[in-house]
């Protein structure tokens, strides 16, 4: 069934962790056939039984948080504090959506001559395709609400980071989820991912990754009018006004962009600072950047680990040539591992570092003149995923949050993701929303049924 293998490498040490078998098209087709059968039985189960199965899965994840975290540290180089949070987040997402099977209640609509009701029917088999930057959490945003709504899920993890997804698949089975209902299928995007798109029994694709591949997935899905949710790239702005708590804005700005070594679709990778406080902000930012603890991801106090792979480190480094306008840089270990120091650039507005998603620990800082200029700059990108606004003026905070074309904004913080609130992008950052109370509905079709009532 599987035709090849791929080595999974620890990005902090460059050591091979494990060899993983990659599925071919026949392997995907077999898995989808099993998923179709499992889904029919799952959808017929009583809602309370589906809820209980998801709660068991959540409990199994909870019992394995340290193991899952250690696996992510080794495979992705995430600092252990972050990886522990990520594993706990998977448990919480499962727990949250385990309440959904008993709450997908449809509607009763008043009509003449009968009774009209709607049902939220599951789609069938859902294909979830994930990127390498947050392997566990992003997978859970797809599989938990999809399963809760009565679907089966096939999950394709990214080639570089499959290990925690594979383990989650094992935990689901051990927790009692029916065989075939949730299958993790490692493989290449061009093989397994594309087969999800072309397979007629995969009724929806949840794709998280680059805008380039996402547009391809959407075009392929159009051939079967296949449903898609797309979570794509970002180039988000952190807008710092002169009336904010400047010390706090500067102290937190590194965490808004360098979390996960900047490999975060929500990274606030463009800091926009009002011109009259620009110099002071840079004075405050420098010690904050230099103080970031970059190093061994297994250490509890580490704040930033390595980049995920050599190829990605080379791509990030290409944005910082020798003559780059570097304001200052933080630290990075030498020796083995794909390290890159936190780097602050002060380029011109049209520079490629301002326009392209670097997906590494590189941030650009630009001055702006007034509120209108800040909004124009923030929106001058094809992306629209997240962003932050720092101001103590409530009216300004509301004016600017309404004007910035972005799906997830935070005022005086850098928060983007809570499983209880919707998440997703404007413009080329995506299509549809994940998380929040309505996520299970995006894994259903609304069926309307009219029942005639005979006159007495």
In the complex, the residues that contact ligand NAD under the rule CB under 6 A are 129-134, 138, 156, 158-159, 189-190, 193-194, 197, 208-210, 213, 216-217, 231-234, 265, 357, 359, 385, 425, 429-430
| Nearest to ligand NAD of 230, 344 (CB atom) | 230
Q: How many CB atoms lie within 10 A of CB 25?
A: 15
Q: Give min distance, CB of 403 to ligand NAD, in A.
A: 21
Burial environment of residue 370 by CB neighbours within 10 A (0 to 12, 13 to 18, 19 or more): exposed
Burial class (CB in 10 A: 0-12, 13-18, 19+), 147: buried
Sign of the alpha-carbon torsion through 158, 159, 161, 166: positive
If the CB atoms of residues 150 and 360 are measured against ligand NAD, the closer one turns out to be: 360
Q: Cα–chain-centroid distance for residue 249?
A: 25
List, edge to edge, every strand of the sheet that includes 408-411: 326-329, 343-345, 362-368, 270-274, 237-240, 386-390, 408-411
Distance separating alpha carbons of residues 414 and 376, to the nearest angstrom? 20
Verify whether residue 283 is a known catalytic residue: no
| Token code pair at residue 74 | 């080794």
**Least CB distance to ligand NAD at residue 255 (A):** 17
- Least separation in angstroms between residue 26's CB and ligand NAD is 17
Identify which of residues 250 and 363 has a Cβ nearer to ligand NAD in the complex.
Answer: 363
Closer Cβ to ligand NAD, 198 or 412, answer by number: 198
> Which residues of 175-231 form beta strands (DSSP E)?
182-184, 202-208, 227-231
Phi/psi of residue 2, nearest 5 degrees: -95, 140
DSSP 366-390: EEE-SHHHHHHHHH-SS--SEEEEE
CA distance 370 to 114: 60
Give me the least distance between CB of 20 and ligand NAD, in Å please.
13
CB of 221 to ligand NAD, least distance (A): 10
Catalytic residue among 231, 303, 357, 434: 231
Q: Which is nearer to ligand NAD, 213 or 246 (CB)?
A: 213
Catalytic positions, written as ranges: 231
């Amino acid at each position: 069934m599987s035709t090849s293998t791929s080595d999974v490498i620890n990005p902090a040490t460059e050591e091979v962790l494990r060899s993983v078998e990659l599925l071919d098209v026949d392997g995907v087709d077999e898995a989808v056939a099993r998923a179709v059968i499992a889904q029919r039985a799952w959808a017929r189960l009583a809602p309370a039984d589906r809820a209980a199965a998801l709660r068991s899965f959540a409990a199994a994840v909870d019992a394995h948080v340290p193991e899952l975290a250690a696996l992510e540290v080794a495979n992705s180089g995430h600092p252990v504090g972050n990886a522990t949070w990520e594993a706990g987040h998977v448990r919480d997402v499962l727990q949250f959506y385990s309440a959904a099977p008993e709450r997908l209640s449809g509607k009763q609509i008043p009509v003449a001559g009968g009774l009209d009701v709607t049902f939220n029917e599951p789609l069938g088999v859902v294909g979830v395709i994930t990127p390498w930057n947050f392997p566990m959490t992003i997978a859970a945003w797809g599989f938990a609400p999809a399963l809760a709504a009565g679907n089966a899920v096939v999950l394709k993890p990214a080639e570089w980071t499959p290990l925690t997804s594979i383990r989650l698949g094992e935990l689901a089975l051990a927790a009692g989820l029916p065989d075939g209902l949730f299958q993790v299928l490692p493989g290449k995007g061009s093989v397994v991912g594309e087969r999800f798109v072309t397979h007629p029994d995969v009724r929806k694709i949840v794709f998280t990754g680059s805008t380039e591949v996402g547009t391809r997935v959407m075009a392929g899905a159009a051939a079967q009018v296949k449903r898609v949710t797309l979570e794509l790239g970002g180039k988000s702005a952190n807008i710092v006004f002169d009336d904010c708590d400047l010390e706090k804005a500067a102290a937190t700005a590194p965490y808004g962009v360098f979390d996960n070594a900047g490999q975060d679709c929500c990274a606030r990778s463009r800091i926009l600072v009002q011109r009259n406080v620009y110099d002071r902000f840079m004075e405050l930012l420098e010690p904050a950047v230099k103080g970031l603890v970059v190093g061994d991801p297994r250490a509890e106090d580490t704040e930033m680990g390595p980049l995920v792979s050599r190829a990605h480190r080379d791509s990030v480094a290409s944005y910082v040539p020798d003559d780059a306008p570097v304001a200052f840089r933080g630290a990075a270990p030498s020796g083995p591992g794909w390290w890159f120091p936190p780097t602050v650039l002060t380029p011109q507005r049209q520079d490629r570092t301002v326009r392209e998603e670097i997906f590494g620990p590189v941030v650009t800082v630009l001055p702006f003149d007034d509120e209108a200029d800040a909004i124009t700059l923030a929106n001058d990108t094809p992306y629209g995923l997240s962003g932050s606004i720092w101001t103590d003026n409530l009216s300004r905070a509301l004016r600017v949050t309404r004007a910035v074309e972005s799906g997830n904004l935070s005022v005086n913080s850098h928060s983007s993701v809570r499983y209880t609130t919707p998440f997703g992008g404007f413009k080329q950052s995506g299509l549809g929303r994940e998380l929040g109370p309505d996520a299970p509905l995006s894994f259903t079709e609304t069926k309307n049924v009219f029942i005639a009532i005979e006159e007495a």
